[in-house]
Structure 1
């Protein structure tokens, strides 16, 4: 029985093997692993739209798509150093927040995109985005708004322009004060100070005078009075002299930080201006007495606004004024508490604007931008070339053959914003970010004349305000970094003790611009220097700068350079600047 079972089993096995060996089994394919499809890399990248309007901050460009053997699972990336664009929502290419493209600067830009499929294979392509020129439109890309209270424009800030003009006239006047000019015109220290005090604080005395700073420009206004009729003294609006709405009592001891020696003057923002006037007058009197002004290397100083300790008083006065008056009034008055004012009725009988409209305009006026600021390239705003009719920082956009200083001219910090944007290695756009925010904020106000802003509308207005003042301040901060770099280069020129009068003048100029601009930050309640995390850093910055450049032996200069490099690092940390820009501005 056992034998028979064994024989049967052997027969069955033999039969089975025989069938398999003959290939007659129908299930042979079931024992073979199916061939898997081979993944191939994507072969192209497309963009649903390849054009973006100029001056539109943070604009979306289009949706990215890939050509591949699959239709999903793609990851799109940009290079780590791409400063203008970003990818959001997986496949949408857009400009980064705060960045716009400027048709007047570039008509097209390139961006390199890499797509990686689900299998890890990649393809890269350089895409071209064209920049569409957009015609100026009131309330969109032009700071113009029709009145809701009558016929005409509701925009008015001539007082601010008059003060810009006064500051420009002071700079122009001081810039003439060489030894030869003083001798030819028989000027004394007292005479020079009297003229400066009139320009600073006696509008009635100078309002009918010529605008010498604008020589060579065909302007609509030929005197200060033609800009604004009366009462536009600088003295009345400098921090401390105008106590209204200020976040600090600038007349209190210790409130004003950043300068230690005031001579016979008060230790206040205005007292520092008067101290600079005193130093200038003393230089002129010394020159008239026959004493040579010499720098530490023994070179004669012929520009009498440069002191023997290396202070360029012209630069210090102008840059300090931009902070203690323009930046202070703009941020700490009009764009702070000024935004809580009435938006229902005219500010006064016959006015075409509400108080809120006017307050916002006055804040914008201190930034100094022309109404069609977004129509310029950075080169043009900075006065570094460009198209006919724009290249010198002003443009006759109403085509009447003259430049309206109150609407068609770029002043003060608006020009610094363009200078730093054009000098950035990694793209910044302080100009477009600030100007778009100013326009958008003003539009909210204009659209709602006749009623108070709702909480939501006020929140939106304040958000635009914050963007505007942040970019205004970043432009100033980047300018401080720029002049730290220039001062470091100047110190290299004088470190061996053998240098020219021009080398010393360059050092004085660049130190004056660095120090003067750096005094500005304390005047804004919105400055990052006011953050708890940055407590004490403003005073630290100015301790590193000192009140004059170091011009001693090589070891002292080397130590001072180290201090300036520390100050530069501090500025990078406080403002979050890109390291490459900080090194190259």
Structure 2
């Protein structure tokens, strides 16, 4: 009985001191400075803010402004988003306050992207999207069906943040012998190799350091700069939100958004694995990880990579459902001979979000097999345009070539197939905007219209 009570007390003690925030002391052997924290991921947060600011610039269709936040690495850039508002003051106003000399382009995925005409690399595709956005009004191209604001944002989150985290920091850089834990990351740093590699992956996820103490809904409110959550978001109580540790970005936001709508647990699953993995490294006290510790750390990394991929696939699933709904709305408006411009713009926007997330799945540097080919074919190089045409290729000068395609309403069936493929390939749990129950109705509609319904 006494042994049982003692065991329970020990277990309670361990749980009580387990890390809840992403905050860890210095463990580097021989360090004699006055730093108290070994956590550092300012460069990753700088890139998140560059992404947010680039999205704002893309919405203006300003080529020079986009270039500044995409590839320039110039000093003195003002933060365009997030910025202070009444009831929600933000600490930093310049990118350099987060980290100097950072850009998005040089960190982007350099492998081939098959889902875009011409098979560009991830870096080439981002360059192309930014260039094309600069030639449009507010980043919108109705002729080819492209919303560059959404394409740039959703793809860059995958090509930079997701790729760098899961394909580098949580993969090759985590291997035995790489960035050892018994040495500084580089000369003069206060953190070990493994500490910093793990921190950089966490930084790319984009969660606030106190994410485990926030609900999914509160994380969503945080990204929307909602003053109702300010006091809880201001973890250190200094009266301002520090973008380095108290803001949510990119896929952390999407994970929380999915969870708050569907009751899933993607955000906290990823966050907990990051905290537990970092605690494991800290518990090594500046010594090299044992074989068992390294195996456990790799297991945490696998949990993160799997759930992170599911978050991106869930987002694509949701927007496939939105495209389906847009097509239904367009059909109703056309039948009533109404004005379709607003509905078409919404359709193009949602398609850009769907395509951007689908392309992001390719940017992990991991073979998706049949899923990748299926998504490429079902979604296509553009949405179906009026006249039942679609972008099919690019010419020698980079211009888009359109050709005959399936009917707009037949494209709804592709969206259902896209949702089925995403669910089957990635084991989704939320499945927001599920349209798969409507397949029979869509097939009946297509048959009545005399369409073939032949598609991958």
TM bracket, shorter-chain basis = 0.7 to 0.9
What does residue 22 of structure 2 align with?
143
State whether structure 2 residue 371 is matched by structure 1 residue 537.
yes
| TM, length-normalised to structure 2 | 0.79
Offset of residue 350 of structure 1:
3.6
Q: Deviations over 1:73-126 (max 9, x none)?
A: xxxxxxxxxxxxxxxxxxxxxxxxxxxxxxxxxxxxxxxxxxxxxxxxxxxxxx
Distance in structure 2 (CA, Å) of the matches to 1:272 and 1:507: 22
Distance in structure 1 (CA, Å) of the matches to 2:40 and 2:276: 17
State whether structure 2 residue 346 is matched by structure 1 residue 506.
yes
Distance in structure 2 (CA, Å) of the matches to 1:257 and 1:355: 35
What does residue 426 of structure 2 align with?
575
Of the three residues 98, 106, 115, the one matched with 1:227 is 98
CA 1:283–1:365 in structure 2 vs 1: closer, same or farther (change >3 Å)? same
Of the three residues 218, 230, 235, the one matched with 2:89 is 218
Secondary structure of 1:283's aligned partner = coil
Q: Deviations over 1:187-220 (max 9, x none)?
A: xxxxx3232222111112xx31221212324222
What does residue 447 of structure 2 align with?
none
Offset of residue 536 of structure 1:
2.4
What does residue 282 of structure 2 align with?
446
Q: Deviations over 1:238-264 (max 9, x none)?
A: 112xxxxxxxxx2xxxx32211158xx
What does residue 256 of structure 1 align with?
113
Of the three residues 187, 203, 216, the one matched with 1:378 is 216
State whether structure 2 residue 134 is matched by structure 1 residue 281.
yes
Offset of residue 432 of structure 1:
1.2
Offset of residue 499 of structure 1:
3.9
Distance in structure 1 (CA, Å) of the matches to 2:231 and 2:381: 32
Offset of residue 390 of structure 1:
5.8
CA 1:364–1:304 in structure 2 vs 1: closer, same or farther (change >3 Å)? closer
Contact 2:145 2:382 survives alignment (8 Å): yes
Distance in structure 2 (CA, Å) of the matches to 1:421 and 1:440: 21
Distance in structure 1 (CA, Å) of the matches to 2:231 and 2:143: 34
CA 1:383–1:500 in structure 2 vs 1: closer, same or farther (change >3 Å)? farther
Bigger drift between 149-158 and 344-353 goes to 344-353
Bigger drift between 553-562 and 142-151 goes to 553-562
Of the three residues 129, 142, 145, the one matched with 1:310 is 145
Contact 1:346 1:355 survives alignment (8 Å): yes
Contact 1:389 1:396 survives alignment (8 Å): no
More strand by share: 1
Offset of residue 388 of structure 1:
7.4
Secondary structure of 2:135's aligned partner = helix
More helix by share: 2
What does residue 270 of structure 1 align with?
123
Contact 1:329 1:363 survives alignment (8 Å): yes
What does residue 524 of structure 1 align with?
364
Distance in structure 2 (CA, Å) of the matches to 1:203 and 1:579: 38
Where relative contact order (Cα < 8 A, 6+ residues apart) is larger, the structure is 2
Q: Deviations over 1:56-76 (max 9, x none)?
A: xxxxxxxxxxxxxxxxxxxxx
Matches within 5 A, 1:153-302: 153-177=37-61, 192-204=62-74, 207-215=75-83, 216=85, 217-228=88-99, 230-240=100-110, 250=111, 255-261=112-118, 267-284=120-137
Offset of residue 162 of structure 1:
0.5
Q: Deviations over 1:467-507 (max 9, x none)?
A: 11211111111111110111100011112534433212211
State whether structure 2 residue 232 is matched by structure 1 residue 397.
no
Distance in structure 1 (CA, Å) of the matches to 2:38 and 2:228: 26
Offset of residue 333 of structure 1:
0.8
Offset of residue 385 of structure 1:
10
Distance in structure 2 (CA, Å) of the matches to 1:339 and 1:390: 39
Distance in structure 1 (CA, Å) of the matches to 2:102 and 2:204: 13
Distance in structure 1 (CA, Å) of the matches to 2:351 and 2:232: 28
Q: Deviations over 1:144-186 (max 9, x none)?
A: 1111135411110000000001010011122244xxxxxxxxx
How many residue pairs match? The answer is 390
CA 1:545–1:411 in structure 2 vs 1: closer, same or farther (change >3 Å)? same
Matches within 5 A, 1:116-131: none
Offset of residue 552 of structure 1:
3.0
Contact 1:148 1:449 survives alignment (8 Å): yes
What does residue 248 of structure 2 align with?
410
- Higher-Rg member (1/2): 1
Distance in structure 1 (CA, Å) of the matches to 2:374 and 2:348: 21
Offset of residue 386 of structure 1:
11
Distance in structure 1 (CA, Å) of the matches to 2:216 and 2:311: 13
Runs of 5+ unmatched residues, structure 2: 1-14, 389-405, 437-456
CA 1:348–1:432 in structure 2 vs 1: closer, same or farther (change >3 Å)? same
Contact 1:319 1:517 survives alignment (8 Å): yes
Offset of residue 581 of structure 1:
5.2
Distance in structure 1 (CA, Å) of the matches to 2:261 and 2:412: 22
RMSD: 2.6
Distance in structure 1 (CA, Å) of the matches to 2:232 and 2:161: 20
Runs of 5+ unmatched residues, structure 1: 1-135, 178-191, 241-249, 285-302
CA 1:278–1:580 in structure 2 vs 1: closer, same or farther (change >3 Å)? closer
